[in-house]
Structure formats: C-alpha cells, structure tokens
Amino acid sequence: MVTLDAKIPDGSVAEKWDNHKFSVKLVNPANKRKFEVIVVGTGLAGASAAASLAELGYNVKVFTFHDSPRRAHSIAAQGGINAAKNYRNDGDSVHRLFYDTVKGGDYRSREANVHRLAQVSVNIIDQCAAQGVPFAREYGGLLANRSFGGAQVSRTFYARGQTGQQLLLGAYQALASQIAAGKVTLYNRSDVLDIVKKDGEACGIVTRDMLTGEVHGHSAHAVVLATGGYGNVYYLSTNAMASNVTAAWRAHRKGAMFANPCYSQIHPTCIPAADEFQSKLTLMSESLRNDGRIWVPRGDDDARGAAEIPEDERYYYLEEKYPSFGNLVPRDVASRNAKTVVDDGKGVGPLKNGVYLDFAAAIGRDGVEAVKERYGNLFDMYERITGEDPYSTPMRIYPATHYTMGGLWVDYNLMTTVPGLYALGEANFSEHGANRLGASALMQGLADGYYVLPYTIGDYLAPKLGDTPVPTDDPVFTESVQAIDDKSRQWTSNKGTHGVEHYHRELGKIVWEHCGMARNEAGLQTALKEIPALREDFRQNVKVLGSPDGINTMLEKVNRVDDFMEFAELKVRDALHRRESCGGHFREESQTPEGEALRDDENFAYVGAWEWKGSDAEPELHKEDLEFETVQLTQRSYK
Amino acid sequence: MSEMLNLKLKIWRQDGPRSQGEFLDVDAHDIPVDASFLEMLDVVNERLIADDVEPITFGHDCREGICGTCGVMINGQAHGPEKATATCQLHMRKFNDGDEIVIEPWQAQAFPVLKDLMVDRRAFDRIVEAGGYISVPTGTPQDANATLIPKEVADTAMDAAACIGCGACVAACPNSAAQLFTSAKLGHLNVLPQGQSERWKRTEAMVETMEDFFGSCTNHGECHDACPKEISLDFIAFMNRDYVKAKIKNRSLASQ
C-alpha cells in the first residue's frame, strides 16, 4: 500500500513556505553545474522553470514538440493574471487571494499549496514587469487592474486580450537568453514518448525526433514535466490541436499517480460549434462578462432575432438567480446555467446551441469607443469566425472544455510519486481544487516555474552530488527506445479503415456526453463500456499512412489518441467513484434544491490519486485527505 | 447546415528540403462556408486518407491566430486575402463557389521546406537568442509599480510585442527580409525603461544575426500588409535609427 505523503511543512499556513525554504537542502552554487535537469514543455511553467534553473547554474535540456518554444498553448490565454498586490486599495491581500482560491476550488485543494501560490503571486508581477512584459497601464504610468470572473476585488493584471502571449514571450525570452548563454540545450520538434526509471527513480526520457523519426534516450538527474492538461480528451475544446496527455500518461504508466482526472473546467464563454467539421472551439475571454449581459428568450423555441425580442421577454438568468454576483458568477456556475437554459429549448443561433452575451447596455453607457478599447481584438476575432458583428448583434456563446484541474499527483515540492519526476503547471493537480478561478492558470504556471521548483528541486538533488546520470546505452533506455520504434512501425503497418481523427472525434463524443458538464451513474457506466470497445476498434482498425522514418503527422497523433483512449477510462472511473458534486464535477445525484453543486465533505474531502496496475487490471485508488485548518468549509453561494 | 462551396485547389507537395516538389490538384467539393481555411484542409486530408493518399502536412496548432504556427501562401498572398488575419482565422466565406486556390509554403532561403506546406523557422529563434530579452534573472526585482511607464509607451511596446512570429513578413517580402519581425522585438524592448541598459548591444546583435539569415530591406512594405497583427513599419525606421546609433555608441563604449 502506497501512502501519499504530501510533505506539507510545519507551522501556520502563512509560515509554511518560509519554514520550508529554510529547511530544504541547498546545492552549492559551484555544484549546480554538476547537475543535469530535463524539462519537458515550454509553456509558462516549463519555460519559466527551465530559464530559472539555468540562471541558478543547473544544466538544462528543454524539449518541445513545437518548432519554437514560443508556440506553447499558454500563448493563447487571453484574460489576465492574478496577484495579491492590492494596488487598488480595495481590500485585497495574500490571505484573501488564498481564501478566494480555496473557496473557488470548492474546497478540494491543499491549503498549504494555495497559500504559497498567493504569496508568490506578488513576485511574479514584479519579475514580469522587470522582464518588459507590456502590462496595461493607467495614464499616470501605474499598472492597470481589472476584476475578473468571480472576484470582488480588482487584482487581475493584463496585456490587452493577450496576457498569456506576453507572459509566455517573457519566459521564452528568458529561456532564449539561457540558450544563448549555453546553459540550456533546446530540443525542438521532439515528442516525448516515455519516462525512464532506474532503481525506482526518474533518470530520463525517450523522444521521437519529429523530423527524422529517430528515437533517442536522454538522461538527467531529474525530469520535470510541464506538459499541460488533458482537455483534448473531449476532442472539441479550446486547447490547441496538439495539446495532449501523452507525457503525463506515460509517466502515470511508470508509477506516477494521476489525481482527480474527473475535474475539468468548462469555460462559459466560447463560440458555439457550427458543424461536424469543427476542429476546435474558440474561447472568448471571460473578461467580456464584466460588461456583457447574458440572456436567452424567455419563451421556448423562440425563432425571432435578438433585436426583435422585447426587453420583458428576455431572461437574464444569471442576474435573476444570483443578484449579487450576476454575470460574474464562477465559471462552473455560469456554464451549468447555460446548459440548463439550452437543454430547456431556449438556446439561440442556427443550431439553438448558444446563449446571448449582449453589449448593448455597455455601449449605451460607455460608448462604442470605450468598449472597443477594452475588447476590440476579441470582437474582431468573433466577427472573423462567425461573420457576425458583435457591436450590433449580441454574441452567441456556449461553454466548452477549457482547463483541467486534475493531473499528476505532486507533493508540496511538486514531485510526483516517482522520485526525481516533477510536474508543473496544468500538468499537476494541486492548486485549483475542483474548479479554477479566472486568471489563476497563468499565476500557477509561473509560480511553479519561477518561484517553487527552483527552491524545491535542490532538496532532491543535493544528496546526489557526484552521481553521474544513467548512460543512455543502459538497458533501461535501449529497451524503451526499441519498444517505441517497434510501436511506430506497428502503427504504420496498420492498414485500417478509418483515420485517427475519426476515432478521436468518437471518443470526444462519448466523454462529452457522459462525463462533460453534468454526469450521472448510468451515463458514466455506459461510458465505461463504450470507451474500451472504441479503444479496441481503434487499435485494430486505425489507418496510419506513410513511414515512421520522417515527418508523419498521423503517427504523432495516433500515439496521442491512444493515450487519450486509456486516460478517458480513468477519467470516467474517477467521476463514477466521486459521488458528490464539487466545482467542475457535477453529479446530478448530488445537488441542492436550487440545482447547485452539493458537496459531501464527510466522504469526499480528499484527493483521489489513481495508481496504474497494468493494461489488464483496474487502477487502484489512493486517498490524500484534505485538512482545512484555516478556511471554514461552506456551501458556495453566489446569490 | 452551412452553405457549401466547390473549389479547385492546387496544393504544393514536397517530401523534404532537398526533394523536388509539385502541385497536387484537388477538387474540393462541398466545403462549408463556415469552415476555417485549415478546417478546409482537414476535410481535404480526411478524403485523401480515405483514398490511401498521405495527408498534406501543414503547420498549425492554436487555431486562434496567436501561436504563429500556421501560415501558407494563398493565391500568392501570405495568410491569404483577409487583412490582419492569420491563415487559421481566415474563413471560407471569403471565397466564392468555383474559385481556384493555389496553396504554397512560405518561400525564403532562411525557411527551408520541411514537408509540403511546413517550413523551418528556427532562424527567428536565433535572432531572439542574440539579444531579444532583458537580462533579469528570476528573483526579487523592484516593485512592479516602482517605475512609472506612461500609457503611450506601454501601448507602443504592446503594439510591437503583439508579433506572433509566424514569418508572413518574410514570406511576403520580395527580398525575404526579416526587418519587421526583428524590429518588432526591438521596438518592444527598446522603448521600455527596463530595456535601456542593453539597448545598444541588443540592437547591434539582433540586426547582425538577422542579416546572417535573411535578405535586406528595400522598403516595399509588403511585410506590413501581410502581417496578421498589423505591426507598423515605424518599428523598422526606429530599428534603423537605433542600429546607426548602436554602431557608434558600442564603439565608444568599448574604447572607454
């Protein structure tokens, strides 16, 4: 029986991080150059970690499947990044950001981790401003802030609607400086297909060069995964096309436990799907909810255009149900309410699959110019995609999968259950509980990479001084290299019937239908039968053309879908076992009389971490009980 | 259901950097007008796969016009006919039934074709590595509000920093020059107070690295017209001025 030791430091919640920083082992500056660290992924978490570790003196190897580190999907984050700066004098503090994050996560996160996140949030803004991130400014030259999705203070910093891009470019530039300094070696267009262990510890990875098809082992003293979330298990999501669970899943198969895979965040403001050919969904920043009013026609199956529906026949359902938060209720609440009205036949648009987000009031109050200044690029994007002008017609929006709170289980040091293997950013499970607040993903990714891992990794490395990394001609590497090469040849000799997109789409339909915005016992049981059947069909009948010895986008994708096929089953299993509703996990059997998520703290106040037991065996559930010393557990209410 | 288009496509196919390429003619029937350009290519690919033909390789990822991975020449125009729009955000409603569309990769010596429509743009990373950063190791710098930055300055920096590094500027340029890309990064960092200490060193190093890979600018302005983020030509002028100053300043600094 494995025990999950979160290694939470002693002291009050506010003292834990300081205590920990003092108690962890340090690596002497002159000795840091004797260590090799592999970082997989170059999004906010990966790029910031790699740059920071290299600045400290470690030798870093960075891997990305993109052509350049700057392409990672963090680049697409729009809205902003939270920090407890209290620049607006509106009552914000580290404690309030901590409290809001624990509450927003529906009490399924670790207090100690969240408090640390709130503490370092202020450093992130200072660091990014120093790097030259062009945050929005007031006329006087001070940084501008806005309030964002579910917060009652203005603590969100932003760079137009491109905050993720600018923060990522800051981290990418820091990384570039370390590449130029020779402290970081960059391996681009490299697909990480295995995590290698020796004597129980992570000692490297195996990659496929996406240009030549060659499979290689790479060794190091520690391996850091910053490989993002699993949102593309739904096929349609706001994730980039290549975002995948492969590195995390293959780490899971090597012994890293996977925590809370049932938690997915469904973002309330995305452009509704238009047709079967749709390849992804596009998010419209939720900052739009600051000024847009959400409504549907009061009557069912109303065929009139938005302009023809008089005011008293419009149902502003969020404003009516939640007078104090209105359109700014947290993402899960906004999403479920949209689903309810659409399921009731009040949906709008050609497929009746959306709700209106209306800016007429804001334009009337502040003028077109002010609205354009705030949201111009988002409005332009909406018009390009839909062909409709949101200045004159309300936008149509509908929820879509956006972010995944679950991930590899990590302790307070961000180490997985495999010694020497770390998980950062969206790839881990820790800070957001069952629901992430807006503008907190960027904060967490950068916190992990700039301010947490650089402190905690030394504790693991210090005793290894003098050890040389396992050579890549060791059987642990060569056997894995051979297995991956064989598998590639096996896939490309599959003369099946359907392409890989077909299977991904089918998988997405099952997961969205039964493990999407609302889940129930019967649906989850159905999914648990349908997924293995589809997986079997996929493995037998998927068609992969071309050669493994060169660029082959079908081969890249087939590996990813193969892992999603296994991951989906674990996700459903986790959703089935968690017979409560919390945050992004809504079990229809567990709701309040008003239809809100009803937690069961007595039985489910824990992190569910799953252990891989082999392809033919059921995974084993381990529980890390969550203890709340500072925050009082309450039913969330946004009335 | 969406309205449908029937199109005649000529798509560039090329096995690798040293292979001879050729156009593949595709009759793309029943393409929905609401599809994006890349979704149209997805549909074409699914049909090719059904016929046991290898799909067309093209770069793409976010499909929101921000990651900069995608980009092809569409009837000779980088990213196609719609202004300020990356290929992934271009939608088929901008085309007419019966149109012939020629689809080619970016063409520049510094961007060798890897396969079909996918090119190698690593030269851009080399330019950034030459100095496209502010040296501030992770730590505890001063408070973010300690230096006031007027809104106009922050806005100008943001205008430049909006570059997505897609390479359309190079592809559109008759000289395959990378002035717009390089000047956007320099414009971002050189206008900010934080960027001043390394300004002259950065400018000289980035411009000269750029010249190792790319052609020379002769002020055609095609780059700006093709740019999905509408980066201003003013940044090129700003870079040129800084480069001249840098050559003098860096020399006098060295002699001190």
pLDDT digits (tens, 9 = 90+) for A486-545: 999 999 998 899 999 999 999 999 999 999 999 999 999 999 999 999 999 999 999 999
The residue with tokens 């947490």 is A452
CB-CB neighbors (< 8 A) of B129 in chain A: 176-177, 179-180
> What is the model's pLDDT at position B252?
72
Percentage, residues of chain A above pLDDT 90: 88
Residues near A312 by beta carbon (within 8 Å), at least 6 away in sequence = none
DSSP strand pairing (A156-157 vs A81-82): antiparallel
Written out in words, the top-level CATH class of the domain with range B122-255 is mainly alpha
Identity at A433, one-letter amino acid code: G
B62 in A contact zone (CB under 8 Å): yes
Q: What is the mean pLDDT of chain A?
A: 95
CATH 3.10.20.30 residue ranges in chain B? Answer: 4-115
Question: Quick one: which of B1, B133, B173 has its CA closest to A130?
Answer: B133
CA-to-CA distance for A403 and A234, rounded, in angstroms? 11
Overall average pLDDT of the A433-460 stretch:
96
CA-to-CA distance for B70 and B68, rounded, in angstroms? 6
Residue A276 has pLDDT above 80, yes or no: no
Residue A24 has pLDDT above 70, yes or no: yes
Angle at B169 between CA B186 and CA B99, to 5 degrees: 155
> What is the model's pLDDT at position A167?
98
Residue A87 has pLDDT above 80, yes or no: yes
Residues near B112 by beta carbon (within 8 Å), at least 6 away in sequence = B17, B119, B120
Distance from CA of A613 to the nearest CA of B (A): 34
Q: Exposed, middle or buried: residue B5 (CB in 10 Å: 0-12, 13-18, 19+)?
A: buried
pLDDT digits (tens, 9 = 90+) for B165-223: 999 999 999 999 999 999 999 999 999 999 999 999 999 999 999 999 999 999 999 99
CA-to-CA distance for A154 and A472, rounded, in angstroms? 51
Of B45, B50, B124, the CB nearest to A68: B124
Residues near B91 by beta carbon (within 8 Å), at least 6 away in sequence = A384, A385, A387, B33, B34, B35, B36, B37
Residue A28 has pLDDT above 70, yes or no: yes
> What is the model's pLDDT at position A149?
67
Written out in words, the top-level CATH class of the domain with range A267-402 is alpha beta
CA-to-CA distance for A304 and A465, rounded, in angstroms? 72
The answer to whether the Cβ–Cβ distance between A274 and B2 falls below 8 Å is yes
In this predicted structure, which of A70-79, A91-100, A323-332, B151-160 has the lowest mean pLDDT? A323-332
Residue A550 has pLDDT above 90, yes or no: yes
For the domain A475-598, what is the CATH code? 1.20.58.100
Question: Quick one: which of A431, A74, A442 has its CA closest to A263?
Answer: A431
Other residues' Cβ atoms within 10 Å of the Cβ of residue B133: 26
> What is the model's pLDDT at position B248?
92
Comparing alpha-carbon positions, the chain A residue that sits nearest to B195 is A132
Percentage, residues of chain A above pLDDT 70: 99
**Partner A, chain B 192-211, Cβ-Cβ below 8 Å:** 192, 194-195
> What is the model's pLDDT at position A378?
87
User: CA-based Rg of chain A, rounded to a whole angstrom?
Assistant: 24
Residue A274 has pLDDT above 90, yes or no: no
Residue A1 has pLDDT above 60, yes or no: no
CA-to-CA distance for A567 and A570, rounded, in angstroms? 5
Question: Quick one: which of A171, A174, A139, A143 has its CA closest to A156?
Answer: A143
Question: Quick one: which of A183, A177, A245 has its CA closest to A41?
Answer: A245
HSE, side-chain direction, 13 A CA sphere, residue A297 = 19
Residue A622 has pLDDT above 60, yes or no: yes
Percentage, residues of chain B above pLDDT 90: 96
CATH 1.10.1060.10 residue ranges in chain B? Answer: 122-255
Q: What is the DSSP secondary-structure string of A358-386? A: E-HHHHHHH-HHHHHHHHHHHHHHHHHHH
pLDDT digits (tens, 9 = 90+) for A184-240: 999 999 999 999 999 999 999 999 999 999 999 999 999 999 999 999 999 999 999
Report residue A286's pLDDT band, with 50, 70 and 90 as the boundaries: confident
CB-CB neighbors (< 8 A) of A213 in chain B: none
What are the two backbone dihedrals, phi and then psi, of residue B151, each rounded to the nearest 5 degrees?
-55, -40
Stretch (H or E) spanning A7: none
pTM over 0.80: yes
Overall average pLDDT of the A78-88 stretch:
95
Structure tokens belonging to residue B42: 């997805």
> What is the model's pLDDT at position B1?
53
Overall average pLDDT of the B236-246 stretch:
97
The answer to whether the Cβ–Cβ distance between A76 and B62 falls below 8 Å is yes
User: How long, in residues, is chain B?
Assistant: 256
CA-to-CA distance for B237 and B234, rounded, in angstroms? 5
Overall average pLDDT of the A12-37 stretch:
97
CA-to-CA distance for B37 and B78, rounded, in angstroms? 13
Q: Are A69 and A172 in contact (CB under 8 A)?
A: yes
The answer to whether the Cβ–Cβ distance between A141 and B151 falls below 8 Å is yes
> What is the model's pLDDT at position B253?
65
CB-CB neighbors (< 8 A) of A143 in chain B: 144-145
Strands (E), A298-418: 314-315, 355-358, 395-403, 407-408
Identity at B20, one-letter amino acid code: Q
CB-CB neighbors (< 8 A) of A72 in chain B: 67
Structure tokens belonging to residue A448: 């992990």
pLDDT digits (tens, 9 = 90+) for A144-199: 998 886 688 999 999 988 999 999 999 999 999 999 999 999 999 999 999 999 99
Question: Quick one: which of B235, B71, B189 has its CA closest to A133?
Answer: B189
The answer to whether the Cβ–Cβ distance between B2 and A384 falls below 8 Å is no
CA-to-CA distance for A592 and A219, rounded, in angstroms? 52
> What is the model's pLDDT at position A375?
87
> What is the model's pLDDT at position A374?
83
The answer to whether the Cβ–Cβ distance between B91 and A387 falls below 8 Å is yes
pLDDT digits (tens, 9 = 90+) for A581-614: 999 999 999 998 877 889 999 999 999 999 999 9
Beta partners for residue A421, in sequence order: A223
Residues near B143 by beta carbon (within 8 Å), at least 6 away in sequence = A126
The answer to whether the Cβ–Cβ distance between B89 and A87 falls below 8 Å is no
Structure tokens belonging to residue B125: 């990373």
For the domain A36-265+403-464, what is the CATH code? 3.50.50.60
> What is the model's pLDDT at position A150?
64
Residues near A95 by beta carbon (within 8 Å), at least 6 away in sequence = A14, A118
> What is the model's pLDDT at position A332?
81
Strands (E), B33-152: 73-74, 77-78, 100-104, 113-115, 118-119
Using DSSP's 3-state secondary structure scheme, residue B125 falls into helix
In this complex, how many residue pairs, one in chain A and one in chain B, have their CB atoms less than 8 Å apart? 217
Residue A360 has pLDDT above 70, yes or no: yes
Question: Quick one: which of A472, A8, A41, A473 has its CA closest to A229?
Answer: A41
The fold for domain B4-115 equals Ubiquitin-like (UB roll) (3.10.20)
CA-to-CA distance for A332 and A326, rounded, in angstroms? 14
Residues near A545 by beta carbon (within 8 Å), at least 6 away in sequence = A492, A554, B49, B52, B53, B54, B55
Comparing alpha-carbon positions, the chain B residue that sits nearest to A449 is B138
Other residues' Cβ atoms within 10 Å of the Cβ of residue A136: 19
CA-to-CA distance for A488 and B135, rounded, in angstroms? 42
HSE, side-chain direction, 13 A CA sphere, residue A117 = 31
> What is the model's pLDDT at position A330?
79
Stretch (H or E) spanning A529: helix A521-541
HSE, side-chain direction, 13 A CA sphere, residue A517 = 21
The residue with tokens 């689809």 is B103
> What is the model's pLDDT at position A394?
97
CB-CB neighbors (< 8 A) of A276 in chain B: none
